[in-house]
Amino acid sequence: MSMLPTDLEISVERALAEDIGSGDLSAALIAPKLELHAHILSREPGILCGRPYADAVFRQCSPEIRCHWLVAEGTEFAADTVLCTLEGPAGPLLTAERTALNFLQLLSGTASRVRQHVQLLQGLPARLLDTRKTLPGLRLAQKYAVRIGGGHNHRLGLFDGILIKENHIAAMGGIGPALRAARALVPVLTRIEIEVENLEQLEEALAHRPDMILLDNFALADLRRAVERVGGRIPLEASGNLGLNNLREVAATGVDYLSVGSLTRDVQSLDLSLRYDG
pLDDT at 88: 96
Whole-angstrom distance, CA of residue 243 vs CA of residue 247: 5
pLDDT at 195: 98
Whole-angstrom distance, CA of residue 165 vs CA of residue 172: 11
Half-sphere exposure of 111 (CA within 13 A, CB side): 27
Global pTM reads 0.95
User: Phi and psi for 57 in degrees, rounded to 5?
Assistant: -60, -50
165 is catalytic: yes
pLDDT at 187: 81
- 3-state secondary structure (DSSP) of residue 154: coil
Cα 69 from chain centroid (whole Å): 23
Cα 220 from chain centroid (whole Å): 26
Domains of the chain: 8-116+267-276 (3.90.1170.20), 119-265 (3.20.20.70)
At position 72, the amino acid (one-letter code) is A
Whole-angstrom distance, CA of residue 17 vs CA of residue 262: 29
Q: What is the pLDDT of residues 119-147, one digit of tens each?
A: 999 999 999 999 999 999 999 999 999 99
Q: What is the pLDDT of residues 34-80, one digit of tens each?
A: 999 999 999 999 999 999 999 999 999 999 999 999 999 999 999 99
| Catalytic member of 14, 43, 165, 209 | 165
C-alpha closest to that of 199 among 219, 183, 179, 182 = 219
Q: Walk along the chain (278 residues) and give the pLDDT tens digit of each residue.
A: 468 999 999 999 999 999 999 999 999 999 988 999 999 999 999 999 999 999 999 999 999 999 999 999 999 999 999 999 999 999 999 999 999 999 999 999 999 999 999 999 999 999 999 999 999 999 999 999 999 999 999 999 999 999 999 999 999 999 999 999 999 998 878 999 999 999 999 999 999 999 999 999 999 999 999 999 999 999 999 999 999 999 999 999 999 999 999 999 998 999 999 999 86
- 3-state secondary structure (DSSP) of residue 127: strand
- Strand bridging mode 212-216 / 236-239: parallel
| Catalytic member of 133, 224, 225, 265 | 133
| Catalytic member of 24, 97, 193, 195 | 195
Strand ranges inside the chain, DSSP E: 35-42, 46-47, 66-69, 76-77, 81-89, 127-129, 162-164, 192-196, 212-216, 236-239, 257-259, 272-276
Helix axes 51-61, 8-20, angle to 10 degrees: 50
| Catalytic member of 98, 224, 225, 248 | 98
| Catalytic member of 24, 216, 237, 256 | 216
pLDDT at 1: 47
195 is catalytic: yes
Whole-angstrom distance, CA of residue 143 vs CA of residue 156: 8
pLDDT at 186: 87
pLDDT at 104: 98
At position 123, the amino acid (one-letter code) is G
Whole-angstrom distance, CA of residue 178 vs CA of residue 208: 10
231 Rama class: left (phi>0) / alpha (psi -120 to 50) / beta? left
